[in-house]
């Protein structure tokens, strides 16, 4: 039966309220302080390293994001590690929190559809992530301007903007995942544990599991004739199920312009190539397009599952 009225009625109201809650809540302050401190620390260490070791490079600013200086990992490694935590912290009690506070039926008794509530919460989470990331990005650029004394080039700005979009999509995947668990589990603690479990699986264990599974299915990675191509292809395909891999490949190709391929390359394919020469930004975007669309698609699919489960739930609190 067709329902009358727009499913988007009230999305803006939910978005504004939830975004204000996310941005002003102590939970977010703590997490964002953690992200800011570690990321700025990593960027500062990278700047010191750049000043000491690199005389001239066309992509000095991009090195702020990729260069690691002991004991701190690089900026992108830290962001790749911490953004899922922030996204999970935003989303793990988005829906079940409404049930446990007994506000769900009161809110849904207003003239809005469930669609608006879930979408508003998701968009508010993405907005909170985006605001945090933009602030961080501007801080890093400001730090670079002060300490390196150079502005970022147009090409670098485009690549950094692409990196920002990819990071937002990556955060969106984890936000959708946390919201899915907040729909499935009524206890916020269970939802948080499930989401953190998925994060640990992809952040730590996936890279251990994929070689094992690939070796079992396709045989050992090396044969007497050289590398086992079936193994390599399967291993890469399994790796790319993980949003962490998709994000890492995207960040690598965008922030290291010399990256020319994201997988096994035959000698015949690199004949004539000027290795170490940076690719134009457009070519790098072509290279990461499948990864970026994969991240966005994963985010949408997980959100759609959460949406379907939520639509079928009984509202009694």
Partner 1 sequence: MSEVAIRAHGLTKRYGAVVAVDHVDIEVGAGEVVGILGPNGSGKTTTILMLLGLTEPTEGRAEVAGFDPLRAPLEVKRRVGYLPDSVGFYDGLSARDNLAYTGRLAGLTRGEIDDRFERAMIRVGLPDVGRERVSSFSRGMRQRLGLAEILMKEPQIAILDEPTATLDPHSTQEFLAMIRGLKADGTTVLLSSHHLDQVQSVCDRVALFNRGRIALAGSVTELAQQVLGGGHVIDVEVHGPDVAERLRRMPDVARVQTLGPELYRVDCARDLRAEIARELAASSALVGLRFAAPSLNEVYTRYFDEARDAA
Residue 48 as a binder of partner 1 (CB under 8 A): the answer is: no
Q: What are phi and psi of 153, to 5 degrees?
A: -75, 170
Give the integer Cα–Cα distance in Å for 263 and 238: 13
Least CB distance from residue 185 to partner 1, whole Å?
19
Least CB distance from residue 16 to partner 1, whole Å?
8
- The three-state (H, E, C) secondary structure of the chain, written as one string: CCCCCCCCCCHHHHHHHHHHHHHHCHHHHHHHHHHHHHHHHHHHHHHHHHHHHCCCCCCHHHHHHHCCECCECCHHHHHHHHHHHHHHHHHCCCCHHHHHCCCHHHHHCCCCCHHHHHHHHHHHHHHHHHHHHHHHHHHHHHHHHHHHCCCCCHHHHHHHHHHHHHHHHHHHHHHHHHHHHHHHCCCHHHHHHHHHHHHHHHHHHHHHHHHHHHHHHHCCCEECCEECHHHHHHHHHHHCCCHHHHHHHHHHHHHCCCCCCCCCCCHHHHCCCCCCCCCCHHHHHHHHHHHHHHHHHHHHHHHHHHHHHHHCCCCCC
Residue 105 as a binder of partner 1 (CB under 8 A): the answer is: yes
Residue 101 as a binder of partner 1 (CB under 8 A): the answer is: yes
Give the integer Cα–Cα distance in Å for 76 and 188: 29
Which is nearer to partner 1, 110 or 223 (by Cβ)? Answer: 110
Which is nearer to partner 1, 78 or 89 (by Cβ)? Answer: 89
Whether residue 210 contacts residue 238, with contact meaning beta carbons closer than 8 Å, is answered with: yes
For Cα atoms 67, 150, 46, give the angle at the middle one, nearest 5 degrees.
15
Which is nearer to partner 1, 273 or 315 (by Cβ)? Answer: 315
Residue 70 as a binder of partner 1 (CB under 8 A): the answer is: no
| Span near partner 1 by CB under 8 A; candidates 9-17, 28-36, 130-138, 281-289 | 9-17
Binding string, residues 168-207; x marks residues near partner 1 by CB under 8 A: ----------------------------------------
Question: Looking at 23, 68, 72, 107, which residue binds partner 1 (CB under 8 A)?
Answer: 107
How many residues of this chain interact with partner 1, rule: CB under 8 A?
A: 28
Residues 19-38 that bind partner 1 (CB under 8 A): 21, 25
Which is nearer to partner 1, 2 or 149 (by Cβ)? Answer: 2
| Span near partner 1 by CB under 8 A; candidates 111-119, 193-201, 261-269, 280-288 | 111-119
Least CB distance from residue 209 to partner 1, whole Å?
38
Which is nearer to partner 1, 183 or 238 (by Cβ)? Answer: 183
Residues 235-264 that bind partner 1 (CB under 8 A): none
Residue 17 as a binder of partner 1 (CB under 8 A): the answer is: yes
Give the integer Cα–Cα distance in Å for 295 and 240: 10
Residue 112 as a binder of partner 1 (CB under 8 A): the answer is: yes
Least CB distance from residue 257 to partner 1, whole Å?
46
Residue 106 as a binder of partner 1 (CB under 8 A): the answer is: yes
Question: Looking at 40, 72, 85, 108, which residue binds partner 1 (CB under 8 A)?
Answer: 108
Where along the sequence are the contacts to partner 1 (CB under 8 A)?
1-5, 9-10, 13-14, 17, 21, 25, 101-103, 105-113, 314-317
């Amino acid at each position: 039966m067709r329902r009358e009225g727009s499913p988007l009625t009230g999305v803006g109201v939910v978005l504004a309220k939830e975004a204000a809650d996310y941005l002003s809540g102590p939970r977010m302050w703590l997490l964002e302080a953690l992200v800011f401190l570690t990321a700025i620390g990593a960027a500062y260490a990278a700047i010191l390293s750049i000043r000491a070791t690199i005389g001239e490079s066309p992509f000095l600013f991009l090195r702020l994001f990729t260069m690691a200086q002991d004991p701190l990992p690089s900026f992108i490694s830290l962001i790749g590690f911490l953004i899922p935590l922030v996204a999970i912290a935003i989303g793990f009690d988005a829906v079940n929190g409404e049930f446990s506070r007994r506000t769900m039926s009161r809110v849904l008794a207003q003239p809005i559809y469930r669609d608006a509530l879930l979408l508003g919460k998701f968009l508010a989470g993405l907005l909170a992530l985006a605001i945090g990331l933009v602030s961080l990005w501007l801080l890093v650029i400001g730090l670079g301007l002060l300490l390196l004394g150079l502005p970022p080039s147009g090409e670098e700005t485009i690549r950094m903007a692409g990196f920002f979009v990819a990071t937002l999509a990556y955060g969106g995947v984890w936000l959708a995942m946390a919201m899915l668990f907040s729909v499935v589990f009524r206890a916020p603690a269970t939802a948080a544990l499930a989401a953190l479990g998925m994060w640990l699986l992809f952040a730590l264990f996936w890279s251990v599991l994929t070689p094992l599974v690939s070796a079992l299915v396709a045989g050992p990675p090396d044969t007497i004739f050289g590398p086992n191509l079936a193994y390599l292809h399967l291993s890469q395909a399994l790796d790319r199920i993980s949003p962490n891999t998709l994000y890492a490949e995207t960040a690598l190709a965008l922030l290291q312009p010399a990256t020319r391929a994201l997988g096994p390359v035959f000698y015949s394919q690199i004949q004539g190539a000027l290795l170490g020469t940076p690719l134009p930004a457009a070519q790098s975007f072509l290279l990461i397009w499948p990864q970026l669309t994969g991240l966005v698609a994963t985010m949408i699919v997980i959100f759609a599952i959460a949406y379907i489960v939520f639509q079928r739930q009984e509202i009694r609190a």
